[in-house]
Amino acid sequence: MKKLAVLFMAALLVLAGVSPLAQATQLTAPTSTVSVSITIPESISVSCTPASVAFTGTPSAGSQPIGGPISCTTNWNLQNTRTVVDVLEYFSSNTPFGTPNIVNSMITASVNAGTATPFSSTAVTQFGINGFYGPLLGQQSFTSSSTNFNGSQTDTLQLAVINSASIPPGTYTATLNVVALAP
């Protein structure tokens, strides 16, 4: 009976909101802080496919395509202080095929099915890169209110050779450089 009375009193105290534990004071440790930062670097890349194109055909005084079109995709994630993304293509030499019989001006480029333009026969330095440039492959402009500082663009490039009849028989290879930059 005595046990029952003690349990009854304890239950009444708990129901009344009076508990021996409720009278203890809370102990709290000082707040610890952790600095959290997120850094997203600027980036720009360009990738072209196919990785090689070839011309095999009957020599002609006219213009003949070199393989099929080359598709170049440029991706960027830029700060809003940038104003433009340029995509340029160039050869490093005026005789990129290693023979004086094939000079840059004999190679043309048509960008996005536009007019075929010969590569320059004069070296030019653009954005610190010295080369013999073809037409501008791609360009994306920005303003301070632009929303496309993170994006991508795909452009096509069709190369052609002019006057292949003046080229002696043989196999000639060159490297076309494609660069994307955001000055």
Distance CA 139, CA 63 (A): 26
CA dist., res. 4 & res. 10, Å (int): 10
- The answer to whether position 104 is within a domain reads yes
Does residue 174 lie in a domain region? yes
- How many C-beta atoms lie closer than 10 Å to residue 73's C-beta? 16
Number of domains in the chain: 1
For 19, other C-beta atoms within 10 Å of its C-beta total 11
Short-list 183, 71, 82, 92, CA closest to 137: 71
Q: Cα–Cα distance between 121 and 95 in angstroms, integer? A: 9
Kindly state whether residue 80 falls inside one of the protein's structural domains.
yes
Indicate whether 127 belongs to any domain: yes
The tens place of each residue's pLDDT in the chain, 183 residues long, gives 555 554 555 555 555 555 555 568 999 999 999 999 999 999 999 999 999 999 988 999 999 999 999 999 999 999 988 999 999 999 999 999 999 999 999 999 999 999 999 999 999 999 999 999 999 999 989 887 777 789 999 999 999 999 999 999 999 999 999 999 998
* Domain carrying residue 134: 44-49+62-181
Q: What is the pLDDT of residue 19?
A: 54
Residue 167 maps to a domain: yes
Confirm whether pTM is higher than 0.85.
Answer: no
**CATH number for the domain harbouring residue 159:** 2.60.40
Residue (of 114, 104, 40, 103) closest to 77 by Cα position: 40
